Amino acid sequence: MSEYKDITELLGIEYPIVQGGMAWVADHHLAAAVSAGGGLGLIAAASAPAEWVREQIRALRKLTDKPFGVNVTLMSPFAEDVVKVVIEEKVPVVTTGAGNPGKYMEALKEIGTIVIPVVAASTLAKRMERAGADAVVAEGSESGGHIGETSTMNLVPQVVDAVSIPVIAAGGIADGRGAAAAFLLGAKGVQVGTRFIVAKEANVAQAYKDRVLAAGDNDTVVTGRFTGHPVRSLKNKLMREILSKEKDEISLEEFETLMSGTLRRAVVEGDVDHGSLMSGQSAGLVTKEQPAAEILREIADGMKAAYLSKAAYFGD
């Protein structure tokens, strides 16, 4: 029996830790390692074609029989086809990002898929609860990639107050202290992204991993605010160029041309100057490459230690 309630029972996992659905980073290798290690691994569908997602699901199932999920980016032109594949393959869990998954909810629920929308505001969290979501991930603006406006410290308790379904906290959580803090804010689980970029099983160019490992607390920037889709990444040559162009009112077309293919360039080619090094602010807490299972154990053990070290103070 797991010592944690709610999310572990809902998802059939050992630790209340979900891996972030990181585009290009979260393929079946990382997801299988996280699931086999006792967390919930996710394959990030990102903007990949649906058949790629099917291959990833089948490849993951060859590596582990533990529960796993697929993260669907709703802005993807293939989102609808990806949802079809997820249903055909009977994927146990779906998380969604960068939009409202309302129109897919019924079909997913019908086959018993657990649906966990990622939200960056309590308004969407409430709508998702009404639409039948099993839980939500409340993702604060410390996160990497596409972000909302509100920090984890403020977002999580407000989403917890707004809904009755379990809330999984995300954004800025990379160790046991952050996870314990999220639980004190009312979360029943945590989602961790950035720390898994440097997991041994993550198929990420070493140069990208090295940048995450070297980053400090002030090394991320947010670009693209004017597009309505702000994105957090590590500071590098590309981001400095984009930030300076944003000051001079760059057009949306020019911005999109500059950004096009840059995540792949970083993750696959290891071009850390001209690629997008998406990362959360927790990169400063990430200091070593480790197997995913070890990361999960450290966070779970650290969470308990952080709680116990304050128990006397809280009168426990």
Question: Whole-angstrom Cα distance, residue 248 to residue 243?
Answer: 9
**Of 87 and 131, CB closest to ligand TUI:** 131
Residue type, 133: A
State the pairing for strand pair 167-170/145-146.
Answer: unpaired
Tokens 């981001």: give the residue.
239
Catalog residues that contact ligand TUI under the rule CB under 6 A: 23, 73, 75, 97-100, 118-120, 124, 139, 145-148, 229, 231
**Of 72 and 91, CB closest to ligand TUI:** 72
Q: In angstroms, give the least distance from the CB of 90 to ligand TUI.
A: 24
**Of 98 and 165, CB closest to ligand TUI:** 98
Contact predicate 227/255, CB 8 Å: yes
Q: In angstroms, give the least distance from the CB of 35 to ligand TUI.
A: 20
State the pairing for strand pair 220-223/231-234.
Answer: antiparallel
Q: In angstroms, give the least distance from the CB of 72 to ligand TUI.
A: 10
Q: In angstroms, give the least distance from the CB of 312 to ligand TUI.
A: 37
Q: In angstroms, give the least distance from the CB of 100 to ligand TUI.
A: 4
**Of 66 and 232, CB closest to ligand TUI:** 232
Question: Whole-angstrom Cα distance, residue 247 to residue 242?
Answer: 9
First to last CA, the chain: 23
**Of 98 and 213, CB closest to ligand TUI:** 98
Q: Which residue is nearest to ligand TUI (CB)?
A: 145
**Number of other CB atoms surrounding residue 310 within 10 Å:** 12
Query: Three-state DSSP class for 34?
Result: helix
